[in-house]
Structure 1
Amino acid sequence: MSSLGYGFYATHPGEVLKDELEARGISQRKFAESIGMAYSVLNELLNGRRPLSTTSALMFEAALDIPAEPLMELQMKYNMQVARKDTTLATRLKKITKAVARS
Protein backbone atom coordinates (compact mmCIF):
# COMPACT_ATOMS: atom_id res chain seq x y z
CA MET A 1 0.00 0.00 0.00
CA SER A 2 2.95 2.32 -0.24
CA SER A 3 1.61 3.84 -3.43
CA LEU A 4 -1.89 5.20 -2.98
CA GLY A 5 -1.88 6.86 -6.38
CA TYR A 6 -4.84 8.17 -8.25
CA GLY A 7 -5.81 8.24 -11.88
CA PHE A 8 -7.72 10.72 -13.96
CA TYR A 9 -10.60 10.60 -11.51
CA ALA A 10 -9.90 11.11 -7.85
CA THR A 11 -10.60 8.10 -5.69
CA HIS A 12 -12.45 8.39 -2.41
CA PRO A 13 -10.22 6.89 0.29
CA GLY A 14 -13.14 4.74 1.39
CA GLU A 15 -12.77 2.75 -1.83
CA VAL A 16 -9.15 1.94 -1.01
CA LEU A 17 -10.01 1.03 2.57
CA LYS A 18 -12.97 -1.10 1.54
CA ASP A 19 -10.76 -3.04 -0.90
CA GLU A 20 -8.15 -3.49 1.83
CA LEU A 21 -10.66 -4.88 4.32
CA GLU A 22 -12.03 -7.25 1.68
CA ALA A 23 -8.53 -8.40 0.70
CA ARG A 24 -7.77 -9.15 4.35
CA GLY A 25 -11.09 -10.92 4.87
CA ILE A 26 -12.17 -8.52 7.61
CA SER A 27 -15.89 -7.84 7.92
CA GLN A 28 -17.00 -4.23 8.21
CA ARG A 29 -18.92 -4.97 11.40
CA LYS A 30 -15.97 -6.67 13.06
CA PHE A 31 -13.59 -3.91 11.99
CA ALA A 32 -15.91 -1.13 13.15
CA GLU A 33 -16.19 -2.80 16.54
CA SER A 34 -12.42 -3.29 16.80
CA ILE A 35 -11.68 0.42 16.23
CA GLY A 36 -14.63 1.74 18.24
CA MET A 37 -16.51 3.20 15.29
CA ALA A 38 -20.21 2.82 14.62
CA TYR A 39 -20.84 0.35 11.81
CA SER A 40 -23.05 2.86 9.98
CA VAL A 41 -20.27 5.48 10.04
CA LEU A 42 -17.70 3.00 8.72
CA ASN A 43 -20.06 1.78 6.00
CA GLU A 44 -20.81 5.34 4.85
CA LEU A 45 -17.09 6.11 4.75
CA LEU A 46 -16.23 2.94 2.82
CA ASN A 47 -18.98 3.67 0.30
CA GLY A 48 -17.87 7.27 -0.28
CA ARG A 49 -20.87 8.88 1.41
CA ARG A 50 -18.82 10.33 4.29
CA PRO A 51 -15.43 12.05 4.18
CA LEU A 52 -12.42 10.58 5.90
CA SER A 53 -11.42 12.64 8.93
CA THR A 54 -7.89 12.92 10.26
CA THR A 55 -8.96 10.99 13.35
CA SER A 56 -10.38 8.16 11.26
CA ALA A 57 -7.29 8.13 9.04
CA LEU A 58 -5.12 7.71 12.13
CA MET A 59 -7.36 4.88 13.38
CA PHE A 60 -7.02 3.11 10.02
CA GLU A 61 -3.27 3.63 10.18
CA ALA A 62 -3.09 2.05 13.64
CA ALA A 63 -5.33 -0.88 12.70
CA LEU A 64 -4.20 -1.64 9.14
CA ASP A 65 -0.71 -0.11 8.98
CA ILE A 66 -1.76 2.11 6.06
CA PRO A 67 -0.18 5.56 6.36
CA ALA A 68 -2.72 8.26 7.24
CA GLU A 69 -1.18 11.02 5.11
CA PRO A 70 -1.74 9.38 1.69
CA LEU A 71 -5.31 8.57 2.72
CA MET A 72 -5.87 12.21 3.62
CA GLU A 73 -4.31 13.27 0.30
CA LEU A 74 -6.82 11.06 -1.50
CA GLN A 75 -9.62 12.72 0.46
CA MET A 76 -8.34 16.21 -0.40
CA LYS A 77 -8.05 15.37 -4.11
CA TYR A 78 -11.52 13.84 -4.05
CA ASN A 79 -12.91 16.97 -2.33
CA MET A 80 -11.25 19.20 -4.94
CA GLN A 81 -12.70 17.15 -7.80
CA VAL A 82 -16.20 17.35 -6.31
CA ALA A 83 -15.83 21.11 -5.76
CA ARG A 84 -14.62 21.67 -9.33
CA LYS A 85 -17.72 19.91 -10.65
CA ASP A 86 -20.04 22.13 -8.57
CA THR A 87 -21.68 24.46 -11.10
CA THR A 88 -22.85 26.91 -8.42
CA LEU A 89 -19.29 27.25 -7.16
CA ALA A 90 -17.96 27.57 -10.73
CA THR A 91 -20.31 30.48 -11.37
CA ARG A 92 -19.24 32.15 -8.14
CA LEU A 93 -15.54 31.68 -8.98
CA LYS A 94 -16.03 33.26 -12.42
CA LYS A 95 -17.62 36.30 -10.76
CA ILE A 96 -14.70 36.56 -8.36
CA THR A 97 -12.18 36.32 -11.21
CA LYS A 98 -13.96 39.08 -13.14
CA ALA A 99 -14.25 41.31 -10.07
CA VAL A 100 -10.56 40.97 -9.24
CA ALA A 101 -9.54 41.60 -12.87
CA ARG A 102 -11.38 44.96 -12.80
CA SER A 103 -9.55 46.18 -9.69
Structure 2
Amino acid sequence: IELVSLTSIEGVDVYKIKVTKGEDESFRYYDAKTGYLVRTEKTVEAQGQSIVTVEDVSDYKEVNGVMFPHTTKITAGPQVLILNSTDVKINEGVTEADFN
Protein backbone atom coordinates (compact mmCIF):
# COMPACT_ATOMS: atom_id res chain seq x y z
CA ILE A 1 0.00 0.00 0.00
CA GLU A 2 1.43 3.36 -1.05
CA LEU A 3 0.15 6.93 -0.89
CA VAL A 4 0.47 8.25 -4.44
CA SER A 5 -0.91 11.77 -4.18
CA LEU A 6 -3.55 14.17 -2.99
CA THR A 7 -5.75 14.84 -6.02
CA SER A 8 -9.32 15.85 -6.81
CA ILE A 9 -12.40 14.02 -8.10
CA GLU A 10 -15.34 16.22 -9.07
CA GLY A 11 -14.01 19.04 -6.90
CA VAL A 12 -13.46 16.86 -3.82
CA ASP A 13 -9.94 16.42 -2.44
CA VAL A 14 -9.04 12.73 -2.29
CA TYR A 15 -6.03 10.63 -1.36
CA LYS A 16 -4.94 8.31 -4.17
CA ILE A 17 -3.65 5.03 -2.72
CA LYS A 18 -1.86 2.35 -4.75
CA VAL A 19 -2.66 -1.21 -3.65
CA THR A 20 -0.45 -4.04 -4.87
CA LYS A 21 -1.32 -7.73 -4.38
CA GLY A 22 1.23 -9.94 -6.09
CA GLU A 23 1.28 -8.73 -9.68
CA ASP A 24 -2.15 -7.08 -9.42
CA GLU A 25 -2.28 -3.34 -8.91
CA SER A 26 -5.24 -1.07 -8.21
CA PHE A 27 -5.87 2.44 -6.99
CA ARG A 28 -8.27 3.52 -4.27
CA TYR A 29 -9.37 7.06 -3.66
CA TYR A 30 -10.45 8.22 -0.20
CA ASP A 31 -12.19 11.50 0.57
CA ALA A 32 -9.60 13.63 2.40
CA LYS A 33 -12.26 15.11 4.68
CA THR A 34 -14.43 12.09 5.57
CA GLY A 35 -12.03 9.20 4.94
CA TYR A 36 -14.72 7.40 2.93
CA LEU A 37 -13.77 5.34 -0.11
CA VAL A 38 -15.04 7.18 -3.21
CA ARG A 39 -13.40 5.35 -6.12
CA THR A 40 -11.53 2.18 -7.05
CA GLU A 41 -9.65 1.83 -10.35
CA LYS A 42 -8.12 -1.34 -11.72
CA THR A 43 -7.08 -2.73 -15.06
CA VAL A 44 -8.52 -6.11 -16.05
CA GLU A 45 -7.85 -8.37 -19.00
CA ALA A 46 -10.87 -9.31 -21.10
CA GLN A 47 -10.65 -11.17 -24.40
CA GLY A 48 -7.00 -10.24 -24.80
CA GLN A 49 -7.52 -6.54 -24.11
CA SER A 50 -6.79 -4.38 -21.09
CA ILE A 51 -9.83 -2.53 -19.76
CA VAL A 52 -9.77 0.04 -16.98
CA THR A 53 -12.64 -0.52 -14.56
CA VAL A 54 -13.71 2.38 -12.35
CA GLU A 55 -16.07 1.94 -9.40
CA ASP A 56 -17.42 5.14 -7.87
CA VAL A 57 -19.24 4.79 -4.56
CA SER A 58 -21.35 7.53 -3.00
CA ASP A 59 -24.48 8.39 -1.04
CA TYR A 60 -23.12 7.14 2.29
CA LYS A 61 -25.78 6.59 4.95
CA GLU A 62 -25.53 5.30 8.49
CA VAL A 63 -26.87 1.79 9.14
CA ASN A 64 -26.61 0.54 12.72
CA GLY A 65 -23.74 2.95 13.39
CA VAL A 66 -21.76 2.02 10.25
CA MET A 67 -21.58 4.17 7.11
CA PHE A 68 -22.47 2.30 3.90
CA PRO A 69 -22.41 3.63 0.33
CA HIS A 70 -25.85 3.32 -1.25
CA THR A 71 -24.82 4.11 -4.84
CA THR A 72 -22.16 2.35 -6.91
CA LYS A 73 -21.36 3.36 -10.48
CA ILE A 74 -19.21 0.86 -12.38
CA THR A 75 -17.59 1.99 -15.62
CA ALA A 76 -15.82 -0.66 -17.72
CA GLY A 77 -14.86 0.57 -21.15
CA PRO A 78 -18.03 1.90 -22.78
CA GLN A 79 -20.34 0.12 -20.33
CA VAL A 80 -21.78 1.91 -17.30
CA LEU A 81 -23.74 0.14 -14.57
CA ILE A 82 -25.36 2.02 -11.69
CA LEU A 83 -26.42 0.14 -8.56
CA ASN A 84 -28.66 1.83 -5.99
CA SER A 85 -29.26 0.25 -2.59
CA THR A 86 -32.57 1.08 -0.99
CA ASP A 87 -32.08 -0.95 2.17
CA VAL A 88 -29.06 -2.37 3.98
CA LYS A 89 -29.60 -5.10 6.55
CA ILE A 90 -26.80 -6.29 8.79
CA ASN A 91 -26.85 -9.91 9.97
CA GLU A 92 -30.63 -9.98 9.91
CA GLY A 93 -31.88 -13.42 10.87
CA VAL A 94 -28.38 -14.63 11.76
CA THR A 95 -27.82 -16.17 15.19
CA GLU A 96 -24.76 -17.56 16.97
CA ALA A 97 -26.13 -21.05 16.32
CA ASP A 98 -25.52 -20.49 12.59
CA PHE A 99 -21.77 -20.58 13.30
CA ASN A 100 -21.70 -23.78 15.36
TM range (shorter): under 0.3
TM-score, L = length of structure 1: 0.24
User: Structure 1 or 2: larger strand share?
Assistant: 2
User: Structure 1 or 2: larger helix share?
Assistant: 1
TM-score, L = length of structure 2: 0.24
